[in-house]
A = this chain, B = another copy of it.
Amino acid sequence: MSVVAPFGFEAAGVSAGIKKPGEKDLAVVAAAGPVAAAGIFTRNRSAAAPVLLSRHHLRDHQARAIVLNSGCANAGTGSAGEKAALAMAQATAEGLGCRVPDVLVASTGPIGPPLPIDHICNAIPDAIGALNDQSGTEAATAIMTTDTVNKEATAVGSGYVIGGMAKGAAMVRPDMATMLAVLTTDAVLSWQALETMLRRVGDKTFNCLNIDGCPSTNDSVFLLASGAAGVRPDLEEFEQRLHDVCLDLALQMARDGEMTDRVITVNVRGAVNDAIAREIGRTMTDSDLVRASFYGGDPNWGRLLAAAGAGPFPVNPNAMTVSYNGVEVARNSVQLDYARNALLATLRQGDFSVDVEVGTGEGQATIYACDLTPGYVTFNSEPS
């Protein structure tokens, strides 16, 4: 059900001819009128045109619709790209009869090629004509790139619903990564509440995902609240439900990482604070050597130690304690005797967890990482 699960939202996914003929590549999610909205975006300094435009359009904290395309990121496209992003918003606003600044825009796909804006503008009326409150899966399908499955999630709160759709695959090391997500709710919420909660939840979910250590130009997460349920939610409950939906989508992305085999849950403990714990976890899982050891199911804690120290964050190289699937392999940076063959056998089976205590404080974070596989390299090496 995804984004159309809450009252007050319609969606559509159609084929605009950006990807192969017949493949869905254009999605619209729309409310009945302008509603409270919040967004979080890539911090990449090469942020794509749609990111710049959506950030601008969110300055009044409201939106009527989001138009999203796959098959082209509209990044690295200069001022022509900026015009194309605006044209997408204009065509959507015209179709819906709303103000242009009430339309948010997102694109995903290869970086560099120009956006086929004529194809998109031709298809936007079709998409708007197809809008209905059942087509969440069509929209979620239309934003896929190298994703192998569409990604949807919902959570039910006390008298309201939260729905979401996302795409991931590669170039996913959010801050944000090339991930797009649209979240909707029918709860009654101010934009301030949406923004605060989205930022906090995004930091603990999407921003804790590390598929390949490559921060994208296009990451965007939008949260729209229609208020159609007429319920003012308990904020603590809402934030927890929002967290559930976002974590669900983030884990769906991790499991569908481009040509990856496993999801490794890395729990960092004992950092100076939670934010630094997250950065240490991200730095560790950025390392090719660490992710290659994940692929091999090798409890190579020395690489974690080396990678943790590579970042600008304080770690105590003499106080690192590391466990794989609960088996302690090093304590205070001294390798232990452990039942190595038994551990190797469990690590070979699939997903596993790594606990890293860095010995500098009380901060903690959990990172959801993918392994680095030969298949990922081959897949991403081929000229398109």
A303 to B382, CA, bound (A): 13
Does A179 touch B at the CB level, under 8 Å?
no
A307 to B75, CA, bound (A): 12
- Asked if B214 and A171 make an inter-chain contact with CB atoms under 8 angstroms apart, the answer reads no
Does A58 touch B at the CB level, under 8 Å?
no
- Which of A217, A295, A302, A330 lies at the interface centre, i.e. has the most chain B CB atoms within 10 A of its CB? A302
Does A47 touch B at the CB level, under 8 Å?
yes
Find the B residue at minimum CB distance from A308.
Answer: B46
Restricting to A152-190, which residues have a CB under 8 Å from any CB of B? 170-171, 175
Interface residue tally for chain A (C-beta within 8 Å): 71
- Asked if A44 and B212 make an inter-chain contact with CB atoms under 8 angstroms apart, the answer reads no
Does A349 touch B at the CB level, under 8 Å?
no
A89 to B51, CA, bound (A): 57
Number of this chain's copies in the complex: 2
**CB-CB < 8 A to A76: which residues of B?**
301-302, 305-306, 317, 320, 330, 333, 335
**CB-CB < 8 A to A175: which residues of B?**
310
Q: In terms of DSSP, what is the predominant structure of the interface of chain A?
A: loop
**CB-CB < 8 A to A114: which residues of B?**
334-335
Task: Give which listed residue, B77, B170, B295, contacts A334 with CB less than 8 A.
Answer: B77
**CB-CB < 8 A to A298: which residues of B?**
381-384
Taking the closest CB of chain B, its distance from the CB of A275, in whole angstroms, is: 16
Query: Per-residue 0/1 for A283-306: is the Cβ within 8 Å of any B Cβ (1 yes, 0 no)?
Result: 000111100110111111111011
Residues of A whose CB lies within 8 Å of any CB of B are 44-47, 73, 75-80, 110-114, 170-171, 175, 212-217, 286-289, 292-293, 295-303, 305-311, 313-315, 317-318, 320, 330, 332-335, 344, 372-378, 380-384
